[in-house]
Structure 1
């Protein structure tokens, strides 16, 4: 067996801008063994600015703009952290995130772009939206267009402002038949363009009926429009800020050298601290000043990729220098499918140029489409019989998808003798051990997860919530936890960082439940595996699988589908937004819901590896009852059904399905396969008296995991009827 190479360097990319997206693509094609790559970005996608005017005009869908950073990170073998950086300490080499996490680095690179928030204008934050960040603007615009429309005001008469004004006018004419758009600039419109291109573009604005105001000083923005300093009132139901670029304020607080708030970089794209790089709009090319344009971010990507690798390899003397071109072709959208091209003072416009621009944009986006995961090493040519069939054609899933099937577990546990101690009330195969201590009952349970993401903190939170599931389901108050941590090989500094992230995040989960981590065990292995042994206390008899009664109503507290989504993520088949929502669901604590359901439930369990159908069948078998499920009522995670219909499934699903053969009613409902989908950190499934349902659902609505009625308990032999 070839030992895994130890990680020795942490490279942290801050921001998912165009340069970093291209770095990730290149990294995936040629990884550097021993270097761990991390991407920090507020969301799972990053919009491509070149296609934004086309989207505003209605030529492209919202999805067409997005670079899927979750898929790109999987392709690159990088971890992705969905949060925004708010500070960087180059001395301690720590990045602090908005959510409070602190991530250490050996080498960092910033590509966070710029923003267009005009805080100096009264009422801007309440009544206007900035063109950057692009995702917020695009989403706000979509809601506006879907409404009644109305007048639009664009503040900022540069190329970006003009493009967006024409795009907005075109879209409104298509949707409402009327477009009232005003373009405002405190100076001269399109002043940065050569005169010939400027005249052509201003004529185009006039032809489209866009009202232009030069020398317009904005005094304030209200809910009904824009008020100028001279008293002029510009009506607007949608006000867009497209003024000059603005750097994020925290960059100037890093102690790194800045120019007008932008990080000053050398030709190697290094800041005043050689271990920190910067590219894209947040960087100032002091050695060759250039305007803020995406073309320079794209051209810088190969240089940044090479230099990050050189720094990680300890070959700082082998870095390349960035030499940006002096001029570049500008292709400016004109609202409809027409564009203006300008370079070196010459300009042309027409539909052919829009098609040219569209082809360039699509070619750029194609770099991030159709990504395929790294193929595992081929098995030896000569093997024992059955090896190929046992391996299957898909990689082993993480989370509960890596759990052993119920058949294997049942066979192993059936041979164990029943406990002979009087203080052990449970039997082998129960969800958790029930021990007596005086008048109290103590719950003892353990669980661990094979990592499905490279982020130790994310895995720690989900593993802790997952391990608490049995404790919550039995109505016990969490008491203590022991951690089991297996980390991949790395130098001690990196392992210390990862272990610190794990214990900090897990400790927060247990502390929120009034419990504490009191110790544990750690070791090294080929991959990260995290688990916890949990104890809980209750003064009454625990809620078990037994106790469900005919007439009870079934309540589920989380949507299902994590198994198929995690399988899809491993195959770079699940959209990043779908994956992010699954992560968010798994990170939600079931503690508040457990305390609500614990007051009324006759039987309760957490929905994990055996899937919703498997865990409901366990309740039926223990209680001697049957159940009826309303498949239309079962909440599904976004994207889960689509992935299932594409043939994607967790490695455990077939065993879950086989275990219920003959005991679950036939159905052609598209949600049926998801009943067998193994859940990680899934919700609670409770059988409650019918007369308590309304009050229980109302109480659950006040928690992060509201409840849904999905069926009822019926009389009969243990089986599931589907309706």
Structure 2
């Protein structure tokens, strides 16, 4: 994360708080070469920065499952908060619930929270979900003990990377970077060529995403921006635009951002809340807080009373995301789709 931030912010001061003995000397050397100030925390201190350390910076704290998992009453590890499961990926004492990925851990063969094991768990999870629905025996799964993890360095003239295999660390070396790039591109290519298996017009339709992925491909977007004469928006994209303004003789920096996506589900309240939180995340990513928002809402063709209810529920969902931030919904715009609404009527 810190190296990615350095690439994005080449001149901004970055401080990283680390625990003593947890980061190898070669990685520390690379971080210092990238002008990242390392603040070492003694091993016995885990809750506060060491004396004299700045309060603003990055803390390398590791991951922890959200508190609501343990609060729900299902069995979780006390230290990590991850949901405890058996080798069939069923939650302990709750066989009707399955869990995997960073939020879960197999009791008899625990593994670190990493995308490597989360991806490998997808196949046994899919099989067992289908088997459970059909009352068939479930398969047990034993995740591999170690997995190759490739950590990329700064993208300089000669990018490098480290290879981690359990307790062993190799690198940095350009060869590991080339291997990482090859694996990443092959993984993404599998999604780009994936089809839904539905015969529509004689050919298989490519999978169309909703949510945050419901946007133009990067190459199409960049070409359009270049043609329109605003290529700077493509070559130096930001989560939000900076709008300098003056108040009482002082310059105050405001941020503006716009975001949205097609409805994910049929619940208008939840759709409004999800979309609002997603839009707020661009402001949060810039280290700012949300002061106000406006909403653009597209409603389906439907009787007026149905449209009124859908709009009211959507706005209520948006406000639920803003009210907790003490932010205001100050306006917006409504549109009517030209597509006939499904029955029962919904936004999705």
TM-score class, shorter-chain normalisation, is 0.5 to 0.7
Q: Distance in 2 between matches of 1:471 and 1:201?
A: 59
2:183 to 360, 363, 381: 360
Q: Distance in 2 between matches of 1:203 and 1:254?
A: 43
Q: 1:335 aligns to what?
A: 154
Question: RMSD in angstroms over aligned alpha carbons?
Answer: 4.3
Q: 2:226 aligns to what?
A: none
How far apart are 1:365 and its partner, in Å?
2.0
How far apart are 1:343 and its partner, in Å?
2.3
Residue 119 of structure 2 is aligned to residue 284 of structure 1: no
Q: 1:467 aligns to what?
A: 302
1:230 to 36, 46, 51: 51
Q: Distance in 1 between matches of 2:102 and 2:185?
A: 22
Q: 2:61 aligns to what?
A: 243
Q: Secondary structure, in 3 states, of the residue corresponding to 1:332? A: strand
Q: Distance in 2 between matches of 1:471 and 1:342?
A: 56
- Indicate the structure whose relative CO is greater, using CA pairs within 8 Å and at least 6 residues apart: 1
How far apart are 1:286 and its partner, in Å?
1.3
Q: Distance in 2 between matches of 1:349 and 1:279?
A: 31
Residue 3 of structure 2 is aligned to residue 166 of structure 1: yes
Q: Distance in 2 between matches of 1:559 and 1:370?
A: 34
Q: 1:172 to 1:471 in 2, by over 3 A?
A: closer
1:269·1:304 contact (CA, 8 Å) conserved in 2?
A: yes
Q: Distance in 1 between matches of 2:39 and 2:306?
A: 66
Q: 2:41 aligns to what?
A: 215
Q: 1:232 to 1:245 in 2, by over 3 A?
A: closer
Q: Deviations over 1:649-697 (max 9, x none)?
A: xxxxxxxxxxxxxxxxxxxxxxxxxxxxxxx9xxxxxxxxxxxxxxxxx
How far apart are 1:559 and its partner, in Å?
4.3
Q: Give the gaps of 5 or more residues in structure 1.
A: 1-163, 191-197, 221-227, 380-392, 395-451, 473-477, 479-504, 513-555, 567-582, 588-679, 681-723
Q: Distance in 2 between matches of 1:321 and 1:356?
A: 31
How far apart are 1:278 and its partner, in Å?
0.3
Q: 1:458 to 1:367 in 2, by over 3 A?
A: farther
Residue 24 of structure 2 is aligned to residue 201 of structure 1: no
Residue 143 of structure 2 is aligned to residue 350 of structure 1: no
Q: How does the TM-score come out when normalised to structure 1?
A: 0.29
Q: Kindly report which structure 2 residues correspond to 1:403-414, keeping only aligned pairs within 5 A, or say none.
A: none
2:298·2:335 contact (CA, 8 Å) conserved in 1?
A: no
Q: 2:334 aligns to what?
A: 558
How far apart are 1:373 and its partner, in Å?
4.2
1:168·1:335 contact (CA, 8 Å) conserved in 2?
A: no
Q: Secondary structure, in 3 states, of the residue corresponding to 1:358? A: helix
How far apart are 1:320 and its partner, in Å?
1.2
Q: Distance in 2 between matches of 1:218 and 1:463?
A: 48
1:307·1:320 contact (CA, 8 Å) conserved in 2?
A: yes
1:264·1:284 contact (CA, 8 Å) conserved in 2?
A: yes
Q: Distance in 1 between matches of 2:76 and 2:198?
A: 43
Q: How does the TM-score come out when normalised to structure 2?
A: 0.56
Q: Deviations over 1:151-210 (max 9, x none)?
A: xxxxxxxxxxxxx2222223322xxxx3532221244332xxxxxxx2322222233332
Q: Distance in 1 between matches of 2:131 and 2:109?
A: 23
Q: Kindly report which structure 2 residues correspond to 1:341-420, keeping only aligned pairs within 5 A, or say none.
A: 341-343=163-165, 345=168, 347-376=170-199
Q: 1:291 to 1:454 in 2, by over 3 A?
A: closer
1:189·1:214 contact (CA, 8 Å) conserved in 2?
A: no
2:301·2:339 contact (CA, 8 Å) conserved in 1?
A: no
Q: Distance in 2 between matches of 1:366 and 1:271?
A: 33
1:188·1:214 contact (CA, 8 Å) conserved in 2?
A: no
Q: Secondary structure, in 3 states, of the residue corresponding to 1:375? A: strand
Q: 1:258 to 1:470 in 2, by over 3 A?
A: closer
Q: Deviations over 1:301-353 (max 9, x none)?
A: 111011011101111xx211111111111211112232111325251322232
Q: Distance in 2 between matches of 1:169 and 1:378?
A: 47
Q: Secondary structure, in 3 states, of the residue corresponding to 1:342? A: strand
Q: 2:14 aligns to what?
A: 181
Q: Deviations over 1:221-272 (max 9, x none)?
A: xxxxxxx4523336x5xx4454121111111122222212211000000012
1:331·1:341 contact (CA, 8 Å) conserved in 2?
A: yes
Q: Give the gaps of 5 or more residues in structure 2.
A: 206-261, 272-296, 317-331
Q: Distance in 1 between matches of 2:154 and 2:87?
A: 37
